[in-house]
């Protein structure tokens, strides 16, 4: 019989950051997320709707999608705490006549007030300049009464109403702060536009399909370029200002005339598919301020020259797949390289850097000149084992070189002659499927490579699981499908890989202060509670990623009994 004792200090206090539990009071329906109240409806909607600034002690910062769609609101009052009005939040209110957008509002989603035929008065408080979605005020009395041409609301360029003539050049008026979503969508007669330096955000789909728009000068104060903002447009050069922070998903997707993209200092984020399949893009200079590039961001673009940011931690899946780069320098900041990141880069012959890589996906350098030139046998990139090249001998024991930190995903997959693996103490990451369909034997339910927990194989539901004391690392995705409610890690653990606890069954994980690294998306896209010591690395990680945290004092943790499932009582 397994018996476990865990001695922990008194819980000091609780910080609630994310709670997915719905709550309500006498009037409004809401839930708490990230320590904030999100209203998703009301038990009964009054004609004169006054949204409160707080509910249940939590500040109201968001109105959820469709929250008051198809209601009978005549007048609406929003508090100065509102940050987000989600898509369709107040659409199809047939009698709504007036709305005032608070200065606190940062985002108004697609069709938030669409199909409100009596809505005639729209006020934006002073200094209000929210990022605007598409068709926010579609089919309102206000919009229908606007003359053809440029339509503004306060300091927001809402849209061009009517048909443009061929070879149109437009100038957005001075002091404009926002270009609304869809403002010029599919305007194939627009060839040039001037935007003043005051523009802070360019909305999603704002220039989508403007295939005759050849050049654009990005305003010096623009901070955000929205999703699909210039997708399928005709621009040939994109040089971004120093204040730009985010290029959202698909922003320049299939811009087949775009030849050069220069990212100046200040940019932090390039979204997934941002420059996907740009058939003319040959040069990309990614500034050192960029910390995140989404998957497939430069997929199948003919890039020949690539400079990666010295602040980049992860090179995401398919990010540079199929490009024409010939040489690659991987900055010291990079720890993770995901599946197929440089796959099918046939011209890639030289790779330098990469000294700090720990996690490597599958087929990262598949079909490159570099990998084809490597000798047969165990194949490495610096301290990561990529796989075995050539035909593996019978009854083979893989003796990994000293200093090896990681084994790539699928490294020995389907190598049926592999019977054992010898690893150094430096190993911290064993990739998903790396020993699948081999003859390496593991105990159940915990499968170890050295002291690295590589796999948890039990499919039985478990209320509480204590990880064995010898464990130094938890590899990526180990518990992604486990039926476990609560997990406790020993003080020996120093490394936790990405998505390690992403199973929807997991509700709580105790993480000791010995942990010095945690990978991305620890709990996946769902909520769980992390019990950590205040001020520890784990505490800082949870705070950064907005994960609910309970503070505890780690006095001592020990276990006895059959703690590793091998049938031996210790």
Which pLDDT tens digit goes with each residue over 292-334?
999 999 999 999 999 999 999 999 999 999 999 999 999 999 9
Task: Retrieve residue 182's tokens.
Answer: 């869809």
Dihedral sign for Cα atoms in the order 547, 548, 554, 559: negative
Q: What span, in angstroms and rounded, lies between the C-alpha atoms of 108 and 180?
A: 10
Write the secondary structure of 104-119 as one string of H (helix), E (strand) and C (coil). Answer: CCCEECCCCCCCCCCC
Q: Parallel, antiparallel, or unpaired: how do β-strands 406-407 and 429-430 relate?
A: parallel
Examine the pLDDT at 226 and tell me if it is beyond 90: yes
Residue with tokens 């009964």: 44
Say if residue 387 is exposed, middle or buried (CB neighbours under 10 Å; 0-12, 13-18, 19+): buried
- Residue 433 corresponds to which tokens in the numbers above? 């499927």
- Could you please report the per-residue DSSP string of 185-218? TT-TTEEEEE--TT--EE-TTTTTT-TT------
Q: How confident is the model at residue 14 (pLDDT cuts 50, 70, 90)?
A: very low
Closest CA relative to residue 499, chosen from 481, 472, 487: 481
In the predicted structure, residue 10 carries a pLDDT above the cut 60: no
Can you tell me the mean pLDDT for 386-399? 98
DSSP 451-464: TEEEEE---S-EEE
| The pair of three-digit structure tokens given for residue 514, joined into one six-digit string | 């010995």
For tokens 């990212």, what's the residue?
Answer: 263
Q: How many CB atoms lie within 10 A of CB 223?
A: 17
- Per-residue pLDDT, 215: 82
Helices and strands in the chain, H and E counts:
3, 50
**What is residue 214's predicted lDDT score, i.e. its pLDDT?**
87
343 or 567, which is more confident: 343
Beta bridge partners of 29: 24, 41
Q: CA 413 to CA 111: how far, in whole Å? A: 49
The reported pLDDT for the residue numbered 460 is 87
Q: How far apart are the first and last CA of the chain?
A: 11
Question: What is the model's pLDDT at position 541?
Answer: 96
Within 13 A of 492's CA, how many CA atoms are on the CB side?
Answer: 16
Per-residue b/e over 402-428, b at no fewer than 16 CB within 10 Å? eebbbbbbbbbbebeebeebebeeebb
Answer whether residue 386 shows pLDDT above 60. yes
The SS3 call for residue 36 is strand
Starting at the edge strand found earlier in the chain, the sheet holding 473-474 runs 446-449, 452-456, 473-474, 495-496, 517-518
> Reduced to 3 states, what is the DSSP secondary structure of residue 7?
strand
Residue in this structure with the two tokens 């984020």, named with its chain if needed: 269
Q: Output the CATH code of domain 35-132.
A: 3.80.10.10
Q: Among 31-40, 87-96, 464-473, where is mean pLDDT lowest?
A: 31-40
Q: What is the pLDDT of residues 249-295, one digit of tens each?
A: 999 999 999 998 888 889 999 999 999 999 999 988 899 999 999 99
- pLDDT at site 26: 55
Token pair in block for residue 73: 């609101």
For the chain, give the number of residues.
Answer: 570
Q: 149 or 127: which carries more pLDDT confidence? A: 149
Q: How far apart are CA 245 and CA 119, in angstroms?
A: 35
Q: What is the rounded CA–CA span in Å between residue 466 and residue 522?
A: 18
The whole-angstrom separation of Cα 292 and Cα 409 is 21
Strand locations in 358-501 (E): 359-360, 377-381, 384-389, 396-399, 406-407, 418-422, 429-430, 446-449, 452-456, 462-466, 473-474, 484-488, 495-496
pLDDT digits (tens, 9 = 90+) for 350-384: 999 999 999 999 999 999 999 999 999 999 999 99
DSSP, res 249 = T
Average of pLDDT values for 528-537?
A: 96
* Cis amide prior to 375 (ω within 30 degrees): no
- Judged on CB neighbours under 10 Å (0-12, 13-18, 19+), 333 is middle
- 146-312: CATH class: alpha beta
Closest by CA to 516, choosing from 527, 499, 532, is: 532
Under 8 Å between Cβ of 211 and 189: no
Per-residue confidence (pLDDT) for residue 566, from 0 to 100: 52
pLDDT of amino acid 194: 95
Q: For the chain, give every domain's residue range.
A: 3-13+454-560, 35-132, 146-312
């Amino acid at each position: 019989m397994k018996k476990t004792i865990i001695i922990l200090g008194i819980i000091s206090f609780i910080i609630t950051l994310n709670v997915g539990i719905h709550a309500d009071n006498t009037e409004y329906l809401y839930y708490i997320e990230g320590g904030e109240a999100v209203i998703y409806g009301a038990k009964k909607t009054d004609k004169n709707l006054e949204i409160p600034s707080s509910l249940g002690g939590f500040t109201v910062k968001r109105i959820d999608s469709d929250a008051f769609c198809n209601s009978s609101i005549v007048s609406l009052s929003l508090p100065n705490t509102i940050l987000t009005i989600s898509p369709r939040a107040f659409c199809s209110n047939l009698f709504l006549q007036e709305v005032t957008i608070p200065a606190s509002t940062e985002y108004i989603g697609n069709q938030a007030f669409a199909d409100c035929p009596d809505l005639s008065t729209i006020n934006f408080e002073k200094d209000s300049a929210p990022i605007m979605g598409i068709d926010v005020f579609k089919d309102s009395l206000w919009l229908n009464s606007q003359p053809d041409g440029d339509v503004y609301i306060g300091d927001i360029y809402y849209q061009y109403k009517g048909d443009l003539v061929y070879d149109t050049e437009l100038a957005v008026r001075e002091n404009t702060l926002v270009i609304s979503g869809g403002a010029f969508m599919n305007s194939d007669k627009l060839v040039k536009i001037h935007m003043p330096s005051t523009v802070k955000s360019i909305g999603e789909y704002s220039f989508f399909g403007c295939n005759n728009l050849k050049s654009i000068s990005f305003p010096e104060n623009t901070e955000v370029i929205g999703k699909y903002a210039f997708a399928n447009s005709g621009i040939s050069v994109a040089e971004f200002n120093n204040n730009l922070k985010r290029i959202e998903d698909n922003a320049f997707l299939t811009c087949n005339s775009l030849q050069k993209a220069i990212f100046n200092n200040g940019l932090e984020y390039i979204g997934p598919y941002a420059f996907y399949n740009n058939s003319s893009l040959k040069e990309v200079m990614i500034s050192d301020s960029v910390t995140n590039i989404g998957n497939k961001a430069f997929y199948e673009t003919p890039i020949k020259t690539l400079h990666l940011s010295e602040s980049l931690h992860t090179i995401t899946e398919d990010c540079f797949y199929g490009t024409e780069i010939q040489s690659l320098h991987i900055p010291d900041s990079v720890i993770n390289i995901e599946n197929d990141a440089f796959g099918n880069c046939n011209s890639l012959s030289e790779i330098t850097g990469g000294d700090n890589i720990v996690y490597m996906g599958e087929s990262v350098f598949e079909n490159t000149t570099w990998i084809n030139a490597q000798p047969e046998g165990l194949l490495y990139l610096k301290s990561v084992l990529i796989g075995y090249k050539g035909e593996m001998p019978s009854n083979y024991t893989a003796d990994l070189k000293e200093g090896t930190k990681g084994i790539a995903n699928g490294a020995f997959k389907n190598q049926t002659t592999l019977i054992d693996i010898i690893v150094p103490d430096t190993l911290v990451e064993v990739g998903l499927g790396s020993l699948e369909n081999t003859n390496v034997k593991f105990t159940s339910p915990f499968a170890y490579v050295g002291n690295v927990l590589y796999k948890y194989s039990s499919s039985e539901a478990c209320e509480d699981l204590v990880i064995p004391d010898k464990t130094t690392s938890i590899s990526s995705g180990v518990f992604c499908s486990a039926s476990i409610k609560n997990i406790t890690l020993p003080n020996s653990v120093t490394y936790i890989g990405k998505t390690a606890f992403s199973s929807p069954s997991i509700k709580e994980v105790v993480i000791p202060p010995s942990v010095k690294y945690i990978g991305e998306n620890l709990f996946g896209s769902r909520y769980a509670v992390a019990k950590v010591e205040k001020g520890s690395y784990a505490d800082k990680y949870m705070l950064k990623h907005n994960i609910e945290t309970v503070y505890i004092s780690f006095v001592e943790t020990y276990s006895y009994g059959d703690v590793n499932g091998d049938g031996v009582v210790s």
